[in-house]
Amino acid sequence: MDDNINIRSAVATDLPAIHGLVGELADYEKALPSFTATIQQYREEFAAGTFSAHVAETSEGEIIGMTLYYDTFSTWKGKMLYLEDFVVRRSYRGKGIGKALFDEFKAEAERRGCALIKWQVLDWNTPAVEFYERQGATIEKEWWNGKMFL
């Protein structure tokens, strides 16, 4: 990874950039109309401690990647950290930034005493699936997701 990239914990002033990166991710996943969370919601929930994040920042202060995650609980394994979103701006991919962000996410889970980390990846997102497999992850294919909008 480029020495001019810094991985650090996100602060409230990073939220507009994080929100923008999530929008880029939603667009990449062909789901931009479903991205309805507002920057105000991000601010409120970040302040409440609902989620945390790490950012990858250039020496010029541009945020080019992030992981957004929160604590949860596995009834089978115990405390777990859930990776909700993980994105590196397209022009910065393939430079080790994603690995550095993912490594910091794993380290955060260890600091928090988590038994496991978990996330979702779209079945057609081959580059992401291959990235996770290179990190030693198991990609489950037998569990189906359920959700209900309120």
- Partner residues linked to 119 by β-bridges: 83
Longest distance between any two alpha carbons in the chain, whole Å: 44
Count other C-beta atoms under 10 Å from residue 139's C-beta.
11
Of 28, 82, 92, 132, the active-site residue reads: 132
* Degrees, nearest 5: CA angle 113-114-120: 155
Could you tell me where the DSSP H helices lie in 38-96?
39-47
Active site residue 28: no
Which two tokens mark 53? 């994040």
**Best CA proximity match to 102, nearest among 144, 93, 27:** 93
Active site residues: 132
